[in-house]
Structure formats: structure tokens, C-alpha cells
Chain A
Amino acid sequence: MSILVLFFLITGLGLIAWLSARMRAARFRRASKARFSSLPSHFGGFVAMWTVLPAAIFLAVWASCAPGLVTNRVLTEPAAAHLPPPGFERAAILSEARSIASGDGFGTPTPLAATLAPAYAAAQTRADWIGAGVALLLAFASGAWAFTRVRPDFRARNQIERLVMALLLAAALVAILTTMGIVASLLFESARFFGMVPIGEFLFGTHWSPQVIDPRDPGASLGAVPLFWGTFFIGAVIAMFVAIPLGLMSAIYLTQYARPSVRMWMKPLIEVLAGVPTVVYGYFAALTVAPLVRDFAVAIGVRWASSESALAAGLVMGIMIIPFVSSMADDSITAVPAAMRDGSLAMGATQSETIRRVLLPAALPGVVGGILLAVSRAIGETMIVVMAASGVATLTLNPFASATTVTKQIVDLLTGEAEFDSPKTLAAFALGLTLFVITLLLNIVALTVVKRYREAYE
């Protein structure tokens, strides 16, 4: 029985359960004048829930263990005695037999797989029928049991609400699961990587060239220091060189000087910069900014001018970051109590003196927190550097030379054709782990700074 038919059958049963329980509850509600804790639809929902949920849970469990049962069944066939011992070859033949049985095999099958295929098909059909039968039976039985509980004194609403609360809790747990999934997958793959490459060589090695990895000593060409430097140089130095002055001055102007109408228009306009997809920035950087930067470098006589310079990627990244800095600075400046500003102005300070001597020092923790958040955003940014920065890892202070970043290397390592277990692909997860840890630390520090600052004025 196909999964779709089963789905409709169970949904149909649930619908019938809902309607019949509702009708029954409505009847006894009409009959008596007493007040009930639950509405007829609560009774309907209760019975429908008991009809659908057990069957659905059973099907989920069955779907996860049925393939194993099917395979065991096939292995008891006489033909299965000719299978090679457990290992890669055996798994390949079994999976080929499975794909022939389900009808999407292609090419000429190996003879053994072809002989096993009918057994597979039979076992699969059997498993499907058993699953469907038990699920329907379960739906019917538990639905009927729930239906017998539809009595005037039964509190169906409390049952429904218990289910709703369980759903809410489950939804909230998804966030924890995601975090755990991220940490676990990064740690697991990184552990495999550090089994091949010593952690010290990875973190402190200064030579990065994953294109040629010596299988005897993979760590020699997987030293990530040039990547860390490139990431820091592009994301935390060049980008911030653009974003901090522009973002901070924009925030100051818009909060202190601009007329409300100007502020109403310019603030969203600047924030649009944060909404532009990063792939667009990357294209802009690669197509427009990078050639300009290179021509400029050549014009002022720089010898190592690359067309994939750190400066081009960093400048565009800085533009992208402006709204982060400006909106955080905006919030912190407006949060400074007006009394402080008024006091300074009343003492005869000009507006700019008030801003520089009173408002900015008072808002500094918030501004610094915002800058840290912006840095974490910048070093995690991928597309701009993938499209505009170079793939060559160099330790350089020259902004016109090429530099590469952690994110760019993750993309390069994982989009190649290498098999999944090589140190090359696993290195991407080690880089990902490093990136995750660094951005996490930056965020925690930034949020603590901002929080403490907010408390100071509340």
C-alpha cells in the first residue's frame, strides 16, 4: 500500500473520529442543562488525536526499523549464501538489489543482485502491508477506546491542552537540538580530522596549500595561520576601517542633527544595505570594485597588485557592515539619558563637544558591543570573499595583495570532487569549528558588554 493512500486513510479515520465524537458530545450537551468543562470540539479533537497519533508514531518507528528487517529477511534466502562477507562489496550488492526491486535500477545488474531482487521486492511488500495493517488497526483500536471515554463528566479539554503544551515544548527544544547538532557534527568531523593532522600543526602551521597534500604528512600543508590572518585582516581591519567611521558618524548625524523627516527616510535607506543579498555584494566586489582597486594600486606603483585583493573584498564587506554598526550605535546613543546631554549643553558646550565628550563616552560600551557583533558578522561572511578574494593563502600586510579567509577555504574545500574521508574535506569542518567558536565568543562578549551597559542606565 502506498504511503499516500495510508496517509489519506488515517487522516480520514481521524476526521470521522472527530465528527462522531463531536456529534455525541453535542447530543449529551443538549440533553442536560449542566455546564461542561469541554466544548464538543474538544471531545472531537481528543478522539481524533487518539486515532491519528498512535498510528503516526508507530509508522515513524516502523519506517526506521523496517529496512533492517527486510534485509534480514532477504539474508535468510538460499541465494544470499553466495554473498561476500560483510563489507563494502556486500553492501553494494544489497543496495543494488534494493534499487532493482523498487524499480529504479539502471544498467546491467550483477547476477547476484538480480537473483536477490525478487526476494527483496517480496519482503518489502510484506513489510509495507504489515506496517499499514498494524497502523490502521492501531488507529481504529485507540480511536475506539477514546470514543468510549466521551462522557459528560470527562474533561477532554485538559487532555487536548496537555498535547498542545507538549507540542510547544517540542518546538522549543528544536533550538537546543539544532545547537547540539551543529556542535556535535562539527566536533565529530573535526575529531576525525585531528586524528590525521595534529591540532598544533593545524592551528599554528603557517603553510596552507590543500591542493597538494602529502598523504604521509598532511599537516605540513594544512597550517591555518594564513587563513586566520586573512580573515582578521579582511573582516576585522579593512572592513571595520570602512564601517566604523561611516556607521558611527551616520548614527551621530541621524540621532543628533538630522530633522525627523530626514531621519525617517535615511535610516531605513541605510538599513537596506544590510538586506541586500551577499551574493550581490560579491558580484559587485568582483566585477566593479576589484578592477578599480587593482588599477589604483598599479597607478600608485604597488608592485604586488592582485585583481583578487584583500582590499576589494574588505571594502565591500565594510559597506555591508555599515548598517550593523550604525543601528547599534543609534540605539546606544538614544539610550543615554537626556539629562546628561541637556546638562552638557546648559554648561555652554557646543553640540559636537557634547557628543564627543559626553554622549560617546556614555554610549561607548554599547558602541563597542555593536562593533564586536559587526566583526563577528564580517568574519563569518562568505559570499563576498568567495567571489572577490583569492584562494591563495598568504601572510601579508599589503592590502593590495591577495588574501584568503576561513569561509572561502571552507567553500573551496567542500565543493571539490574529493571523497569525504580525506583530510582535505575534513579540514573544512575543523575550519568551521574554529569559526563557530570564535564567532560564539565574540557574540557572548558583545552581548555581555551591551547588557551591562543597558543595566547601567535603566
Chain B
Amino acid sequence: MTERASIGTPAPTDWRDAAHQRRMAKRYGAERRFRWLGLGAVLMSAGFLVVLLVSMLSAGVSGFVQTQIALPIDFAHSRLTIDPAKLRGPGADLALAAADLGGATDAAAIAAYGPEGDALLSDGAWTRVRDQLKADPSLLHRRATVWVPAADRIDIAAKREGAPADEAIVAKLNAAHALKTSFNSFFLTSSDSTDPTMVGIWGALKGSLLTMFVTLLIAFPVGVLSALYLEEYAPHNRWTDLIEVSINNLAAVPSIIFGLLGLAVFLNTFHLQRSAAIVGGLTLALMTMPVIVIASRNAIKAVPPSIRDAAFGIGASPVQVVFHHVLPLAMPGILTGTIIGMARALGETAPLLMIGMRAFITAPPGGLRDPATVLPVQIFLWSDQVNRGFVEKTSAAILVLLVFLLAMNGVAIYLRNRFETRW
């Protein structure tokens, strides 16, 4: 008894003691602060995303809208010498190219808006006149009003604050109902240009699609096959360890290193065309392959062994087991990983800069060997432009890129939810 007393039992907690109450309040205060801190971190991270998207949206939406000026042209009395009959045949483009449409457009602008009138129009305004003539050759006999894109500074003044002089011109044009804004379909159908009112993303988008085509064609089969080998057949020895280590390391190598590889191997050793979609596709394929391998291996690993045992049990060979049973069951997971890898490749810029896909290209590439650029590189190139008109175009191109990425990720999530089996 005395021994136990000498060890001493702690006094029971006095819950109403003031010191204890203070201590508890302090601890609960710390708890609350910690919790708020965590919530703040989450909200801040999500807030960054919102700020990023909102800033791109607010700057980019106006890139899809174009300010147009009404241009009355008296085709009948202009100096244009076009035979209307020629416009109905296959020689239309040739006949229109020979005529001085640019001069006629400028003359019409000067006639309508004074001596500075031609400066109000975009440099490419005459192409709109040309398209109108091609669509309706009867215009040549009469007077018509063609809506043509306004010059860059007028466009800026009409959308936001421009220079005071331009603001005055916009006010005057508005009063004369000679100004309208409409959806800039040109932006989605044309290519790069030096004039921000005439630029479009179709060239870059087509380059991106061609590049992605090459990437998918190479990275998908190679990635899936090597994942099958590593998961299903590979013996455990030093060689397969080496393969595994190199795949895991490749997945973490900075993308710019792949650009250096593409430059040294595809351009300087194999002498493939600079800035061609095929080189970009090959480079991105090497970059995307490890991502696909890792995703595919996880998907294959998730197929339960009982499936394989059942197939072996009814006499399938190892190749039949894998290709008839394991691979189809793993496919949703593999496709999800592939789409995510492709989305990453679609947004990639740095390696493509290394292999020269940063050229100024005004026509969409016709094939895999033509000089091409891709959407992210186009964004990078436009962001470097001094001209203020490119700001909204850059943001608009970013929006297009983000829409594509969002769609791809959406498909990936849908696939995962719809087809993935939980065993």
C-alpha cells in the first residue's frame, strides 16, 4: 500500500479549473486556426485556377469577334477589268488574282471615308471583297456594300479603349452605321499573318492534329506492347530491370531534353525536314510513350489473375490469354492513360521549339513533311508580338487549346467512369 502511494497517482483532471480552461481554449483556437489555414490553402489553389481562366476568358473572348466596316464599292465604274464570265469557271481565282482588287478596295475606302480612308481597313480587306465577288459575280455590274475587317487600331478602339483619335473615328463610323461587330469565323479558318486582323489558328491547329496523329500512331502501339511485355511475359532479370528503370526515368525527364534528342537524332543524324510535323510527332511520341506504358501497366495489373487462370484452364496459349482476355479488359484504363498522355503532348511547347517548329507559316501544312507549327507554339509566337492586336488573339488561341484539352480530359473521365470495372 505505502509503496503504491509513493509512486503517486496523478490528481484527477479538474475540468473547471481556470488554467485548464485557458489551456483548452488555446488548443481549440489552434485547432480552428489550423483548419482555416487548410481551407484557405484549398481555396487559394482553386482561386489561382479561377483567376487564370477568367483572365484568359476576359482577354480572349473579344478575339473571336471582329469589327467590320461597311465599304460601298461601285464595281461598275471602278477600274477593275474582270470578265464576269470568267468568274463562273475554274479560272476564277486566276482572274481575280490578276485584277488589282487591293487598289480598287483602297480607292473605294478613300472615296467613302476621305483621304485617310484606306488606313481604316485591314491590310487583308481586299480578300473579303474577292470572296464576295467569287460568291456573286453579278456584283461587278452594280454598286454594292461589302463588310470588310477594320484595321487593327480601329478594332482595338471599338472593343476597348484605343488612342483618342481612333476613338473619334469609331464614334463617327458608329454614327454613320458603318461599323458592326460579328463573329470572326476567319480566326478559325486561316493561318498566321503579320496583321492581327487577318490571323487565324487553322494552320496551327492542323499542324497540331498532324503531329498528334504521328504521336498516337507510334506511342500507342509501342507503349501498349511494351506494357504487355513487362507485365505479362518479362522474366525477372537484369535486362527487364533496365527496361523498367529507363521507362520510369523517361517519364520524369524534362520535356526540353526530348527536344534536344529530336534535334540531335532526327534532324542532325537522320536529316529529316526541319519544322515538319513528322519530326514533332516522333519527338512527342518518345515523350508520351512512358506515360502510356505506366498507365497501361496499371490497367493490366488491375485485371484479376482469375481471368488468366480461367483462360489457361480451357487451353489458351499465353498469347491468346493476353490478347483475347487481358488486353480487352484492360483497354478502358489504357485508353484513359493514352488520352491523358496525348493531352499532355498537345499542350507541349518546349521540345517543338528545339526542332524548329517556330517558323512563321502562313499556309496550313499539306502533309507530314511540310513546315508546320502547332497550337501552343503559335500561342508562344503571338505572345512575343509587339502589336497590341495580338493580345486578344493569343488569349483566344489559348481558349481554343484549353477547350481541346478539356474535351480530351472529359472523354478520359467518361471512359473511366463508364467502362472501368472494379473487380
Contact = CB atoms under 8 A, between A and B. Distances in A.
Interface stretch (A96-104, A216-224, A246-254): A246-254
B41 A250 contact: yes
Contact of B343 (A275, A278, A323): A275
A407 B323 CA distance: 43
B247 A175 contact: yes
A167 B358 CA distance: 36
Interface in B381-395: 383, 391, 394-395
A426 to B, nearest CB: 11
Interface in B305-351: 317-319, 323, 343-344, 346-350
Contacts of A157: 317
Contacts of A186: 257, 260-261, 264
A174 B226 contact: yes
A176 B394 contact: no
Interface stretch (A8-16, A68-76, A202-210, A408-416): A408-416
Interface residues of A, number: 87
Given A168-B229, A189-B264, A352-B30, A432 B243 contact: no
Nearest to B344: A275
B55 interface: yes
Interface string B26-67: 011011001101111110111011001001100100000000
A269 interface: yes
Contacts of B240: 172
Contact of A167 (B59, B225, B256): B225
Interface stretch (A26-34, A146-154, A279-287): A279-287
Contacts of A280: 52, 56, 347, 379, 398, 401-402
A435 B257 CA distance: 8
A381 interface: yes
A245 interface: yes
Given A250-B42, A428-B260, A383 B350 contact: yes
A168 B402 CA distance: 35
Contacts of B347: 275-280
B255 interface: yes
A440 B221 CA distance: 27
Interface residues of B, number: 83
Contacts of B247: 175
Interface of A is mostly: helix
Contacts of B350: 278, 382-383, 386, 407, 411
Contacts of B52: 276, 280-281, 284, 319
Contacts of A283: 379, 383, 394-395, 398
Nearest to B46: A269
Contacts of A189: 264
A197 B246 CA distance: 31
Contacts of A182: 253, 257-258, 260-261
B39 A277 contact: no
Contact of B383 (A277, A286, A439): A286
A287 B391 contact: yes
A275 B252 contact: no
B222 A171 contact: yes
Contacts of B45: 246-247, 250, 270, 273, 319, 322-323, 326
A297 to B, nearest CB: 20
A282 B382 CA distance: 12
B174 interface: no
Contacts of A185: 260-261, 264-265
A428 B264 CA distance: 12
Interface string B225-238: 11011100110000
A253 B263 CA distance: 45
B289 A175 contact: yes
A414 B354 contact: yes
A429 interface: yes
A435 B261 CA distance: 13
B1 interface: no
Contacts of B391: 287
Interface in B244-303: 246-250, 252-258, 260-261, 263-265, 268, 286, 289-290, 293
B257 A257 contact: no
B220 to A, nearest CB: 11
B254 A381 contact: yes
B257 A246 contact: no
Which of A188, A257, A258, A281 has the most CB atoms of chain B within a 10 A radius of its CB? A257
Given A174-B289, A278-B349, A280-B402, A179 B265 contact: no
B254 A172 contact: no
Interface string A237-250: 00000000111111
A288 interface: yes
A429 B383 contact: no
A287 B383 contact: yes
Nearest to B229: A168
A31 to B, nearest CB: 23
Nearest to B48: A319
Interface in A428-443: 428-429, 432, 435-436, 439-440, 443
A314 B341 CA distance: 26
Interface in A266-312: 266, 269-270, 272-273, 275-284, 286-288
Given A189-B264, A323-B45, A376-B252, 12 more contacts: A161-B318, A172-B243, A175-B250, A185-B261, A253-B41, A282-B380, A283-B395, A319-B45, A386-B350, A407-B254, A410-B354, A436-B257
Interface of A: 157, 160-161, 164-165, 167-169, 171-176, 178-179, 181-182, 185-186, 188-189, 245-250, 252-254, 256-258, 266, 269-270, 272-273, 275-284, 286-288, 319, 322-323, 326, 350-353, 355-356, 373, 376-377, 379-383, 386-387, 407, 410-411, 414-415, 420, 428-429, 432, 435-436, 439-440, 443, 447
29 contacts: A157-B317, A165-B319, A167-B225, A168-B228, A171-B226, A172-B226, A185-B261, A185-B265, A186-B260, A247-B41, A257-B39, A270-B45, A270-B46, A275-B409, A279-B347, A279-B379, A279-B383, A283-B379, A283-B394, A283-B398, A284-B56, A319-B52, A352-B31, A352-B34, A353-B31, A377-B254, A380-B256, A382-B254, A440-B252
